[in-house]
């Protein structure tokens, strides 16, 4: 895996060190920013966003901790190398544009190249082509004051790209712009990230910008209090659990790791349409049921864990509901045992007799549970259907058909509703009592 481009470890920045007005603006910040990422530093005014950005830019040396760019401590560079770094590795855009009022737009953009010994023709050609790219080529010969705020900011975007920097820093670049200009500038910066594949670090306190970034560092009082991954963008930095905007899909992806996102969306929707419980409650319930059916939890403790409020680790269902759930679970476990016995006795000499008895018991259970009256023939047919299903001679759909089929075709003649309810319930019992042979 690639190493991060920018690493901050326990980075603190102290203003006016040793003076009476000493102030610690960053108090131990940790970041890992990867090449090609779009990072937003977000937070209220005064939380330290600009301080962090200018520290990365090479203007504010760490008071404590380390800051490495491509593995280098830029603050240990000799002055000439630091200048090279700031000129060729970093581009920067300011909230207040910082254009020189007495120079034409073209000269403003060409200016940084003067210090890099680029000849005038090349400078002007490159400046003009960048101005064209950012939609302000037609005002190249005007002075900045004749341009709108949005145009001026697009000129400074062009200027920031003139030496083809690896990292683009932007300090609230749309803070002084109307909504239309904001959109244009944000789209251009986005293009520099997605098309030119430059790393972007932007200071912003506009929540509408967050969707552009791969990740957002939330700062408060000189600390990163939260790091949030944007699930809308394909991530460059490996994502740890809990770092994304935690949605139900993430939770489902953990439960069903091999399902596609589309399938997970369907599960989420179907859950809403069919169930009264949240996935959080279901996960708790699964845990409790798992302990109960493995005999690690007795009846009373199971009921208790279902009834307990959510904050205290419970599922938070009503007592009546918890008792109903417990009764259903116990009943299913009991009959699943019959199914297990039915299937495991195949080597025994009494095989037929025992199986028949077990199937009869399951039949009586179903009749009792669904309160249906059957005649002798139907009774016998149900035993057959149960045996066929438990041995796998028929599948769930065929069992359902047999329950509805007429008595003469070895069926029971149940209504569709009765057949559906019975076969649905019986499938649950079968699932409890029959192992899956390809899973340990
Ligand atoms: P933000 O960009 O989040 O608005 P800054 O990084 O600009 O915050 O500032 C963080 C804190 O450091 C603020 O309390 C600010 O007053 C203080 N600060 C910023 N620059 C200086 C400075 N040059 N000297 C002293 N304190 C400063």
* 368, 272: one domain: no
168 touches 160 (CB < 8 A): yes
**Residues 226 and 285 grouped into a single domain:** no
- Using alpha carbons only, what angle is made at residue 332 by residues 288 and 404, rounded to the nearest 5 degrees? 135
Distance in angstroms (rounded) separating the CA atoms of residues 86 and 347: 82
Which residue range(s) make up the domain with 264?
254-325
Residue where a domain stops, chosen among 298, 325, 352 = 325
- Those residues whose C-beta lies under 8 Å from the C-beta of residue 266, and which sit 6 or more positions away, are none
Q: Look at residue 351 and tell me whether its pLDDT is greater than 60.
A: no
Banded model confidence at residue 348, pLDDT cuts 50, 70, 90:
low
Q: Is the C-beta atom of 45 inside 6 A of ligand 1?
A: yes
- Ligand 1 centre to CA of 223 (Å) is 13
Pocket residue to mutate for ligand 1, from 14, 15, 49, most atoms within 8 A of Cβ: 15
Same domain, 180 and 285: no
375 within a domain of the structure (yes/no)? yes
Residue 440 placed within a domain: no
- On the question of pLDDT at 439 being above 50, the answer is no
- The band of 440, judged by pLDDT with boundaries at 50, 70 and 90, is very low
- Supply angle C-alpha 164, 168, 174, rounded to 5: 125
Give percent of the chain above pLDDT 90.
Answer: 60
Give the CA-trace dihedral at 25, 30, 32, 33, to 10 degrees: -10
Predicted structure pTM score: 0.64
C-beta 23 within 6 A of ligand 1: yes
Q: Please give the mean pLDDT across all residues of the chain.
A: 88
33-58 tens-digit pLDDT: 999 999 999 988 899 999 999 999 99
Instruction: State the pLDDT at residue 11.
Output: 97
In a domain, 102, yes or no: yes
| CATH number, residue 195 | 3.40.50.300
Residue 438 pLDDT class (50, 70, 90 cuts): very low
CA distance 194 to 199: 9
Of the three residues 325, 347, 377, the one that is the final residue of a domain is 325
pLDDT at 437 over 70: no
CA of 344 to the centre of ligand 1 (A): 75
Angle at the Cα of 229 from the Cα atoms of 225 and 231, rounded to 5 degrees = 150
Among 56-65, 91-100, 235-244, 281-290, where is mean pLDDT lowest? 235-244
Residue 275 and residue 126 share a domain: no
Which tens digit of pLDDT belongs to each residue from 379-421? 999 999 998 888 777 888 999 999 999 999 999 999 999 999 9
Q: Which of 24, 48, 94, 172 gets mutated to test ligand 1 (max ligand atoms within 8 A of its CB)?
A: 48
Residue with the smallest CA separation from ligand 1 atom 15 is 46
Both 88 and 206 in one domain: the answer is yes
Asked if 385 contacts 400 with a C-beta cutoff of 8 angstroms, the reply is no
Strand, helix or coil for residue 438: coil
Residue 439 lies in a domain: no
Return the minimum-mean-pLDDT range out of 23-32, 52-61, 175-184, 201-210.
201-210
Q: Number of structural domains, the chain?
A: 3
CA dist 357 and 159 (Å) reads 88
Burial 117-144 (b: 16+ CB within 10 A, else e): ebeeeebbebbbebbebbbbbebbeebb
Residue 107 has pLDDT above 90, yes or no: yes
Pair (109, 17) in one structural domain: yes
| Residue 333 included in any domain | no
127 and 46 in a common domain: yes
């Amino acid at each position: 895996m690639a190493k991060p481009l920018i690493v901050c470890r326990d980075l603190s920045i102290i203003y006016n060190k040793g003076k009476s007005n000493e102030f610690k603006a960053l108090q131990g910040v940790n970041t890992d920013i990867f090449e090609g990422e779009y990072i937003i530093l977000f937070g209220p005014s005064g939380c330290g966003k600009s301080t962090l950005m200018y520290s990365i830019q090479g203007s504010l040396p760490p008071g404590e901790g380390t800051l490495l760019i491509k593995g280098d401590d830029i603050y240990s560079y000799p002055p000439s190398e630091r200048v090279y770094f700031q000129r060729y590795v970093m581009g920067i855009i300011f909230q207040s544009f910082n254009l020189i009022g007495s120079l034409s737009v073209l000269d403003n953009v060409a200016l940084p190249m003067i210090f890099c010994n680029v000849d005038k023709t090349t400078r002007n050609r490159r400046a003009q082509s960048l101005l064209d790219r950012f939609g302000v080529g037609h005002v190249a010969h005007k002075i900045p004051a004749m341009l709108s705020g949005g145009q001026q900011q697009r000129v400074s975007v062009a200027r920031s790209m003139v030496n083809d920097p690896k990292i683009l820093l932007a300090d609230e670049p749309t803070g002084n712009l109307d909504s239309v200009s904001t959109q244009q500038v944000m789209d251009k910066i986005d293009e520099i990230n997605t098309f030119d594949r430059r790393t972007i670090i932007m200071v912003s306190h506009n929540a509408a910008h967050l969707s552009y970034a791969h990740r957002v560092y939330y700062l408060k009082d000189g600390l990163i209090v939260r790091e949030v991954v944007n699930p809308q963008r394909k991530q460059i930095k490996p994502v740890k659990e809990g770092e994304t905007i935690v949605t139900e899909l993430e939770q489902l992806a953990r439960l069903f790791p091999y399902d596609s996102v589309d399938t997970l969306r369907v599960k989420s929707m179907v859950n809403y349409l069919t169930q009264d419980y949240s996935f959080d409650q279901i996960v708790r319930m699964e845990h409790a049921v798992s302990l109960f059916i493995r005999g690690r939890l007795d009846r009373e403790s199971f009921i208790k864990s279902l009834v307990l409020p959510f904050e205290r680790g419970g599922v938070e269902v009503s007592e009546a509901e918890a008792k109903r759930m417990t009764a259903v679970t116990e009943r299913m476990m009991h009959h699943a045992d019959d199914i297990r016995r039915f299937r495991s006795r195949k080597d025994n000499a009494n095989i037929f007799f025992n199986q028949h008895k077990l199937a009869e018991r399951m039949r009586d259970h179903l009749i009792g549970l669904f309160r249906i009256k059957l005649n002798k023939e139907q009774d016998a047919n149900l035993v057959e259907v149960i045996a066929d299903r438990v041995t796998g001679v028929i599948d769930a759909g065929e069992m359902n058909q047999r329950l509805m089929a007429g008595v003469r075709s070895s069926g029971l003649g149940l209504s569709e509703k009765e057949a559906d309810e019975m076969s649905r319930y019986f499938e649950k019992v079968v699932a409890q009592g029959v192992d899956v042979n390809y899973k340990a």
